[in-house]
Amino acid sequence: MENFLSNIVGDIFSKKEGSVLGIDIGSSSIKIVQLSRKNGHAVLETYGELALGPYAGKSIGEATNLPQEKIIEAIADMLSEKEVKITTNVCGVAIPFASSLMAVIEMPVMPQKQLESMIPIEARKYIPVPISEVALDWYIIPKDKNPDTEQIPNPNEKTTPQKLEVLIVALHNDTLIRYKDIVTKNSLNVSFFEIEIFSTMRSILEQEITPVLIVDMGATSTKLYIVERGILRSSHMINRGSQNITDELSKSLGISITDAENLKREKGLLGEVNGIKIKDVVTLTLSYIFSESNRVILAYQKKYDKNVSKVVLVGGGSALKGVVDVAKSSFQTEVVAGDPFAKVVAPAFLEKVLHETGPEFAVAMGVALRRLQELD
């Protein structure tokens, strides 16, 4: 738990009308952010993180695959945690990227009604289960109207039929049922479930025009998203995350998983242990993640002839001390840590701590911001 911070924030901002929660249920922890609106600004009331490892007989920081009843129990514990001081049940909930399927498909230009009937048929090629078993949504990606990227037609060349790019998003019905049961049994007033990437985009991006790569370093996996003009254009998942860093520390230094996790949280990639630099120990995992990220960037640049202008790191792994500097040496573009707390009003003396812990709360913050918008 972020007990110290939650106490301070909770004491400064007492209970207000119109408070909302953003809930992010990850594999290693649950994160909650509570916001309210004051004088037209989003105000941070409290936030906290609850490790799920102990609910599975594991250490703090270890990834879990908890049964539904354990998730319900963990959320109940967090909602009643005195230090966090949660004062509302009005919320939105993020759904993990791994529980969804997203793809950008091409469709011929056709009338809207015809498109609505054709997209589910085309989507079957990308969805490995019967279409009746998923909730399907889609969005037409607007054409790039930047004159610098438009090509002048060649009258001597045959014109090809125009195509539409469509982002399709599918969630298995069983996933939605599971999450609805979790919130219902905790008496939460939920108005939406949102795939985590859209929450992250809302909390850390501004009005970027050029493509941006978001690297979300979770416990067991790292998600890569390329976003352009506020639209998700590409997504990819790597089966390595911050837990791999813990495992590397444990094996290389001959220490327990618990001690390795504590060492990682305390020193990050900085410092030495018995003359061994921590950064050198975890090179394998980070090099793999960043090389895969570069591969995704190059594929995007080749396909669309556009450069990725910035890399934004979020997730628990990106909150490790020194990881941004390591990333900067791996990319040929600007690299920053996501700062979702920059979008809310919070005590000035907490600015440094909130900036450091911010990348971990990108999803929960994004969910809370959307729920707050619904109250306006």
- Residue 177 belongs to domain spanning: 3-99+173-244+281-375
Outline where DSSP puts E strands in the chain. 20-25, 29-38, 41-51, 90-95, 100-108, 134-141, 163-172, 189-195, 212-217, 222-228, 231-238, 272-273, 276-277, 310-314, 334-337
Report the C-alpha gap between 47 and 5 in whole angstroms.
Answer: 8
Residues 143-157 pLDDT 10s: 765 444 444 445 455
**3-state DSSP call for residue 24?**
strand
Shared domain check, 190 and 69: yes
Report the C-alpha gap between 137 and 120 in whole angstroms.
Answer: 9
Q: Does residue 266 lie in a domain region?
A: no
Please report the pLDDT score of residue 192 as a whole number.
Answer: 93
Shared domain check, 76 and 109: no
Q: Does residue 231 lie in a domain region?
A: yes
Please report the pLDDT score of residue 16 as a whole number.
Answer: 45
CATH of the domain at 342: 3.30.420.40
Question: What's the number of domains the chain is made of?
Answer: 2
Torsion of CA 291, 293, 299, 303, to 10 degrees: -160
- Sequential DSSP letters for 295-346: HHHHHHHHHH-----EEEEESGGGGSTTHHHHHHTT-SSEEEE--GGGGSB-
Q: Does residue 331 lie in a domain region?
A: yes
Shared domain check, 197 and 154: no
Which residues, 6 or more positions from 259, have their beta carbon under 8 angstroms from its beta carbon? 250
Shared domain check, 182 and 219: yes
Q: Does residue 22 lie in a domain region?
A: yes
Report the C-alpha gap between 296 and 317 in whole angstroms.
Answer: 19
Span 347-365, average pLDDT: 91
CATH of the domain at 138: 3.30.1490.300
Shared domain check, 287 and 147: no
Shared domain check, 41 and 112: no
Q: Does residue 51 lie in a domain region?
A: yes
Q: Does residue 133 lie in a domain region?
A: yes
The answer to whether the CB of 108 falls within 8 A of the CB of 163 is yes
Shared domain check, 230 and 179: yes
Shared domain check, 291 and 199: yes
Last residue of a domain, one of 171, 200, 231: 171
Report the C-alpha gap between 292 and 282 in whole angstroms.
Answer: 16
Shared domain check, 192 and 74: yes
Please report the pLDDT score of residue 17 as a whole number.
Answer: 54
Span 300-320, average pLDDT: 93
Which residues, 6 or more positions from 61, have their beta carbon under 8 angstroms from its beta carbon? 28, 51, 53, 219, 242, 243, 246, 261, 264, 265
Report the C-alpha gap between 271 and 353 in whole angstroms.
Answer: 20
The answer to whether the CB of 306 falls within 8 A of the CB of 300 is yes
Q: What angle do CA 242, 248, 249 make, to 5 degrees?
A: 95
Cα atoms in the 13 Å half-sphere on the side-chain side of 171 = 18
The answer to whether the CB of 250 falls within 8 A of the CB of 257 is yes
Span 173-182, average pLDDT: 94
Last residue of a domain, one of 171, 203, 229: 171
Torsions phi, psi for 209 (to 5 deg): -90, -40
Shared domain check, 218 and 129: no
Span 25-43, average pLDDT: 94
Shared domain check, 150 and 7: no
Of 13-27, 61-75, 176-190, 323-337, the poorest mean pLDDT is in: 13-27
Q: Check whether 11 has a pLDDT greater than 60.
A: no
Q: Return the amino acid letter for 71.
A: I
Torsions phi, psi for 16 (to 5 deg): -130, 160
Q: Does residue 261 lie in a domain region?
A: no
Last residue of a domain, one of 146, 171, 196: 171
Span 166-182, average pLDDT: 92
Shared domain check, 240 and 143: no
Please report the pLDDT score of residue 145 as a whole number.
Answer: 55
